[in-house]
Amino acid sequence: MAQVEPINAFDDNYIWAIRDTPKKQVWVVDPGQAEPVLSYLQQHDATLAGILITHHHWDHTNGVAELVDAFPGITVYGPEHSKFNGITHPLDAGDTIDILDFTLTILRTPGHTLDHICYTNNALCFTGDTLFSAGCGRLFEGSAEQMWHSFQQFSQFSDRTLIYCTHEYTSANLAFAAAVEPDNDNIRAHIDWVTAQRTKGLPSLPTNFGLERQINPFLRANLAHMCHHLPPHLTYSTQHPWNNFAAIRAWKDEF
Ligand SMILES: [Zn+2]
């Protein structure tokens, strides 16, 4: 069984490595840098078998060219109609791909960017910059309505499904989550756990849907109390099901 491990990049990115130990093969998700991937491969005496891209942003793609130079002919999976031009095999919603012993299905999740996709086999989901622990990606290209629709697809996952997102933003996200829900004891408890992990230099990830359904304001946006502490200048209506989501996202942008 392949295992998933974090490779640290930049200040707070994780490049997720999917590694098959007997085959000595690795796939990486969103290599914004090549150097830490090359070091990881050397450390594990492994070769790079391919790359998965969730969206076009530079901190998810800037390492691709150098990695393809080092391992010519490898597959680079990524979204159709992406602004990143290094994708060899474009993917659309519902496509499936075989990565070592994982079969991954593609979810289209526009919102953070229009091209964003997630990769899932139901036991795990690589969510890129769509879903973070206790948070979600900023709306750089899509609308709150699009992101809300993208999030609806996450309801298919069991509580045990693991979430591998690209950024270690959990502490800052939890501070916001606590402002949205001051009485949520699960958020308080998770702040303590994440603080202990980070003090030891360990990641707060992967997380899982069971936990996120208890602490993540964007998975809880439709609960009636979620806008009770909204700053007065951020008005919202209940006309559409995504209005709470939009209001909470706008609040996070200025938090
Ligand atoms: Zn991004």
Query: What is residue 91's predicted lDDT score, i.e. its pLDDT?
Result: 98
Q: Report how far ligand 1's centroid is from the alpha carbon of 32 (Å).
A: 11
Determine the average pLDDT of the residues in 97-108. Answer: 97
- Taking the centre of ligand 1 as the mean of its atom positions, its distance from the CA of residue 45, in whole angstroms, is 30
What average pLDDT does the segment 99-108 reach?
Answer: 97
The separation between CA 175 and the C-alpha centre of its own chain, rounded to angstroms, equals: 19
Q: Is 52 exposed, middle or buried (0-12, 13-18, 19+ CB in 10 A)?
A: buried
Q: Is the pLDDT of residue 128 over 90?
A: yes
Ligand 1 is an ion; its neighbours by CB within 5 Å are 57, 129
pLDDT of residue 40: 98
129 CA to centre of ligand 1 in angstroms = 5
Note the pLDDT of residue 1: 82
Q: At residue 212, what is the residue type?
A: E
Q: Which tokens belong to 173?
A: 């996200």
In the chain, where the domains are located: 3-254
DSSP for 112-123 reads SSSS-EEEE-SS
* pLDDT grade for 234, boundaries at 50, 70 and 90: confident
Cα of 130 to ligand 1 centre, how many Å?
8
Cis before 217 (ω within 30): no
- The CATH class given to the 3-254 domain equals alpha beta
Which of 248, 183, 190 is CA-nearest to residue 219? 248
With a cut of 90, say whether residue 24 has pLDDT above it.
yes
pLDDT one-digit tens code per residue, 164-185: 999 999 999 999 999 999 999 9
- Written as one letter, the residue type at 195 is T
Could you report the per-residue pLDDT of 38-69, keeping only the tens digit for each? Answer: 999 999 999 999 999 999 999 999 999 999 99
| C-alpha 189 to ligand 1 mean position (Å) | 28
Angstrom distance (rounded) from CA 190 to CA 175: 11
Q: How much distance in Å is there from the Cα of 253 to the middle of ligand 1?
A: 15
**pLDDT above 90 as % of the chain:** 95
User: How high is the pLDDT of residue 2?
Assistant: 92
What would the two tokens of residue 197 be?
């992990």
